[in-house]
Each structure stands twice: as C-alpha cells, then as structure tokens.
C-alpha cells in the first residue's frame, strides 16, 4: 500500500528533480521529513516495482547514439533473455509485446561502434538476432502521471 510519502515522491518529483549535491535532503526539506525517510521510501518503491530507476531522461541521440531493438524470442525463454538484456548498462528498459517480435528494448551507447558491439554481444549471449530500428522522426510523449493525493 502506498503511504502519503510514497505518493508525494511518485507525484511531485517526476519532473524538476533537485539538481544539487544532496537532492534527497532537498526533497526531504520540501516534504517535511528526514532524508532517511525519503531514501527508505524510495527503496520500498523500488523493492515493490513501483519505480525501477531514478535518473535523467536525455532526448535520443543528444548524447551518444541510441536505437530501438526488437527480438523474436520463444515464450518459454522470454524472461531469461529479458534478464540477460537488462543486465547490460547500455539498455535502459525492455518490455514484452504481443507480436512475433515480442521483446523490445532501447540501447544507448557512446558511438555507433559501441552500440553495434552491444547488439552483437546480446545476440551472442542470447542466441537470438536483434532488429535495430534507429530513430527517424522524434515524437515526444509525456509519460508523467498525476496521483490522487486527496487520499494521501
């Protein structure tokens, strides 16, 4: 169950995360709690899969290069392959889709050579081909969401 602190952390800091040497202290000061309270609540949210990471979202290809990748993986091997892919620091998320190409992820690297090396390593490790689909046109979809804080 989400506590009022959990809801405020999820709701109030999707954007404009404090950029300072002590961002969690800044958040704590804003919410009237301790830095330890903030860190504990974020750990709980992570442990319960409400969040998977805290970090910046950098537009594609502004720093380094990126590509959307699709793979066709037999259902019985999907989780194991997804776990291997998620272990690569260059992969920022992956997800299942209902399609022949059922595993999709975004890979980011410093340059084209590094990106290709990562895709080659993923193919070698998993035994499945990757289909790279680099960005052609940029569309921005705001994935922020507003929680009902009245029940907080």
Q: Is 76 helix (H, G, I), strand (E, B) or coil?
A: helix
Extract the tokens encoding 84: 């291997």
In this structure, the answer to whether residues 42 and 91 fall within a common structural domain is no
In this structure, the answer to whether residues 71 and 126 fall within a common structural domain is yes
Mean pLDDT by 10 residues, the chain (152 residues): 91 87 96 96 92 74 85 97 95 90 94 96 98 78 64 53
Q: Would the pTM of this model clear 0.85, i.e. be above it?
A: no
Distance CA 48, CA 99 (A): 28
| Partners of residue 65 on adjacent β-strands | 109
pLDDT of residue 138: 67
Residue 81: inside a domain: yes
Number of domains in the chain: 2
Host domain of residue 83:
65-133
Q: What phi and psi values does residue 103 have, to the nearest 5 degrees?
A: -125, 120
């Amino acid at each position: 169950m989400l506590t009022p602190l959990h809801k405020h952390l999820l709701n109030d800091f999707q954007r404009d995360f404090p950029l300072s040497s002590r961002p969690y202290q800044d958040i704590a000061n804003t919410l009237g709690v301790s830095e330890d309270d903030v860190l504990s609540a974020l750990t709980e949210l992570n442990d319960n899969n409400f969040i998977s990471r805290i970090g910046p979202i950098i537009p594609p290809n502004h720093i380094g290069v990126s590509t959307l990748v699709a793979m066709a993986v037999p259902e019985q091997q999907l989780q194991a392959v997804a776990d291997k892919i998620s272990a690569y620091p260059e992969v920022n998320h992956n997800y299942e889709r209902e399609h022949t190409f059922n595993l999709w992820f975004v890979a980011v690297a410093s340059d084209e050579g590094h990106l290709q090396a990562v895709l080659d390593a993923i193919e070698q490790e998993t035994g499945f081909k990757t289909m790279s689909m680099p960005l052609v046109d940029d569309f921005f979809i705001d994935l922020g969401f507003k929680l009902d804080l009245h029940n907080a």
